[in-house]
Every structure is written in structure tokens, then in C-alpha cells.
Chains A and B, each alone.
Chain A
């Protein structure tokens, strides 16, 4: 089973602050995803990648940048955090676009 880890697990920042969320997977999956989960909206895709150096835009990309530095590591960057980005963020990985996705434990971000 794929191992997906996220850090930090909890983060509090202020409006306008910079935040980087980290995700690492250790099962050699090519595909990685960032989702956010909000009450009333469910889970929504922010960005995804199919390999190191690749980045694709999801459904809710505004205010987010992402970077895939290696096959294992996928980062989500909030350069000017806003309260609307307060959410539970999940990273996931999969072997192929239509294969099973494995999720990390989540990062709870609060923007004051």
C-alpha cells in the first residue's frame, strides 16, 4: 500500500502570510494530487502532477501554486494566504490516472 505523508499536520498563519504544505509518497507513483475539503463543498482538486517538473491545474487553483520537485515530493504554496483558504488539505498519489488514489493524513490550515 502506498505511503503518503504530509507536513505540517496543523498550521496557523495570518492573512497575507506565506505557507508551504509538503507531501511525500514513497511508492514510486507518477501521479500526485492536492485537494481541499470544505463543509458544503466536499473535496475539490487544486493541482495535480504526473511527474517531476509537471504541473496541471485542477478545479480550484486560484491563490495556489504547486511544484513537483521529484517523483516523491509535491508542494502546495500559498504566497498571500487569505481566510478563504482555511481548509483541510489532502495530498494523494496514484500509479495511473484511473488507478486507486491513496491519501495522506491531511493538513489543517487556519488563516486568521
Chain B
């Protein structure tokens, strides 16, 4: 089965609303990253957050290892936040790769 499950698949907000994106893992992890991507664009690292809570401006990431989940909270969304958000986990079983979720497509409307 899929090791990394992201939800929701897509989300449409009015500008100023908050967003909560979820990522759930089926195996234990030793690293965790959130990325932002515009269609066909590069992957921009938003957070490297293997555990705990990190905040950067309007963005907050919380990773709870025991519960095998991570979340990305976007407060006071802006039109420029639109794009795809991907979470990725690094396995703790010895593999050196990031395993990516399918992404959440966020659209912020004016």
C-alpha cells in the first residue's frame, strides 16, 4: 500500500482563510520535508521537520513521530500560496530516499 497519504487531494479557499494539510505515514520515518511546487515548476523546500513544530511566517509544520503524521498549516492564505504542496518522508529502514505523497493542490481565490 501507499506509504505516504496526503489529504485533502485538493482544496479551494477564499483569500484570508486558513488551510490545514495532512500527511500520514504507514512506516516509521527518520526525516520529513514539505515542498511547494507550481505546475511544472521546481520543488521548493518549505520545511524540513522530522519532529516537533516549526514556524515560518504564516506557515507552521507539526510532525508527531509516534502518530506517524505531519501537518502543514497555512494561516491567512494569499493568492500566491496557490500551487501543490508535497510531503515526503525519509525511511528509517536503511533506504536513503524520500518517499513522496501525491500532493495537495491548493487554490486560493480572491
With A45-B97, A103-B43, A103-B45 as contacts: A98 and B103 at CB distance below 8 Å = no
Residues of A near B97 (CB, < 8 A) are 33, 45, 48, 58-59
State the main secondary structure of chain A at its contact with B: strand
Contact in complex: A97, B90 (CB < 8 Å) = yes
**Within the assembled complex, what's the spacing in Å between the Cα atoms of A111 and B35?**
28
Q: Is chain B's interface secondary structure helix, strand, loop, or mixed overall? A: strand
Q: Which of B22-39 contact A (CB under 8 A)?
A: 30-31, 33, 35
Cβ of B45 and Cβ of A98 under 8 Å apart?
Answer: no
The interface residues of chain B lying within 8 Å CB-to-CB of A59 are 97
Chain B interface residue bracket vs A: 20 to 34
State whether A42 and B103 are in contact (beta carbons under 8 Å apart), knowing that A33-B97, A56-B96, A99-B31 are contacts in the complex.
Answer: yes
Choose among B33, B43, B103 the residue that contacts A90 (Cβ–Cβ < 8 A).
Answer: B43
Interface residue from A42, A58, A100, A108 paired with B40 (Cβ < 8 Å): A108
- The B1-48 residues at the A interface (CB cut-off 8 A) are 30-31, 33, 35, 40-45, 48
Cα distance, A43 to B43, chains bound together (Å): 11
Spell out B's residues near A (CB within 8 Å).
30-31, 33, 35, 40-45, 48, 50, 86, 88, 90, 92, 96-98, 100-103
Residues of A at the B interface (CB closer than 8 Å) are 31, 33, 42-43, 45, 48, 50, 56, 58-59, 88, 90, 92, 97-106, 108
Closest 4 CB pairs of A and B: A100-B48, A97-B96, A103-B43, A45-B97
